Amino acid sequence: MVSVGEGLSWQLGFAHQNWSLSPGETFAISLTFDGQSAFNVQGRPLNAHLMQVGMPANSALMPGTLRRIHALLAADGLFISKTPCVGNMNPLIRLVLPAMRAIGMAPYAGVFRGAELGRLIGAAGFEILATENHAGRGDDNRPFIVARKR
């Protein structure tokens, strides 16, 4: 799992049904991706089976992930995303989420706006064809983005 935080910081989530983690603890983890140099981060259990890992502020994971998706798509291929944008939601949600995380009732949820997500997708080499909201009721702050590989 990948989530985007305030200021476009990144969080990774790792889960395994056989883990028996204790929320409140932290431990050092050495990560490497695609044969790159390893870097050290802190893991923080959210529950017995789910661990959250904050990525360094200079992490290129999201832009790199979008570039990788871009590279895998065929010419003129489509990338479709429906992503909750907490930064566009009711400000009370941004206040409640940290409290819920602190007591283990919610996972990390990044706070960013749809416009930021759109900029990242464009910077990865996509042309955004449509950005729409398809709400069942009221405002749905999960933009449905369709983008074509340039």
The stretch 59-65 carries a mean pLDDT of 67
The stretch 102-118 carries a mean pLDDT of 73
Strand order in 144-149's β-sheet? 78-82, 144-149, 126-132
In the chain, where the domains are located? 2-149
Q: Which residue has the tokens 């590989």?
A: 149
Distance CA 129, CA 58 (A): 29
pLDDT value at position 93?
A: 79
Beta carbons within 10 angstroms of residue 99's beta carbon: 10
pLDDT value at position 124?
A: 92
Asked if 141 contacts 85 with a C-beta cutoff of 8 angstroms, the reply is yes
Asked if 96 contacts 89 with a C-beta cutoff of 8 angstroms, the reply is no
Q: Is the pTM of this model over 0.85?
A: no
pLDDT value at position 34?
A: 59
The stretch 34-50 carries a mean pLDDT of 77
